[in-house]
Amino acid sequence: MCSIIGSYSKDKIEELAKLNKYRGEHSHSLFVICPETYDILFQHKGLGSLNLHEREIPSGYIIAHQQAPTSENRDGTIHPAVWRSDYLWHNGIIKKDCVNKLQEIHKTEETWDTKLILWNLTKLHFPLANVDGSFSCLWKSRNNIFLFRNEISPMFMDDDFNISSTKFKNGTAIPANIMWDFNIKDKQFVAGKNFITVNNPYWGVM
């Protein structure tokens, strides 16, 4: 498991980080994005627990990721995955046979599922229909941020644009199978393209 959290408030990030601590502490990352320009104002990746008091953090929209690696356990797989000007934070795991298929599609030996999803989004222009597994993701692509999940992976959000992989007070699950435009400048959450969950083992289970 991993967790993705986001907020304009450092105090809220600290609260949500504690709430999501059980989802993994092998490594972490902390990014701050300017709501006006979408420029990255601050970025840090490290091993161990997230500590917000180790360094000065500028104002902006804060994104943190706490990780328990599901594919590889190495520094190079600390989220987000980066390719050119795109960044992807991922919570979930992609099935081994799907990883193999994506490796064939992208003609690569890359095994990190998060990087493979990012290539699918950027090189193939969105298709998630060939991604089999669980995923909830935050995707920064130039001056846009998108938030999405399939039916298996959790992601919660409240009216203040706080997000969390674990349910929190006033947070509700974002609708699955939709690529949501996550506008941190105007606090608008707009539905975009639809996709399908390839295989949901929990479908129909009460």
DSSP lists the bridge partners of residue 93 as: 134
- This prediction has a pTM of 0.93
What is the structure's pLDDT at 62? 98
- Please report the pLDDT score of residue 74 as a whole number: 54
Considering the domain delimited by 2-194, tell me its CATH architecture. 4-Layer Sandwich (3.60)
pLDDT under 50: residue ranges of the chain: 71, 73, 204-206
Judge contact between 78 and 43, C-beta under 8 A: no
Q: Report the distance separating Cα 36 and Cα 19, nearest Å.
A: 29
Half-sphere exposure of 193 (CA within 13 A, CB side): 9
Q: Tell me the pLDDT tens digit for each residue of 125-171.
A: 767 988 999 999 999 999 999 999 999 999 999 999 999 999 999 99
- The CA distance from 82 to 84, in Å, is 7
Domain range annotation of the chain: 2-194
Closest CA to 111 of 124, 91, 94: 94
The answer to whether 143 touches 38, Cβ cutoff 8 Å, is: yes
Helix (H, G, I), strand (E, B) or coil at 70: coil
Torsion 64-183-181-167 (CA) sign? positive
- Other Cβ atoms less than 10 A from the Cβ of 8: the count is 17
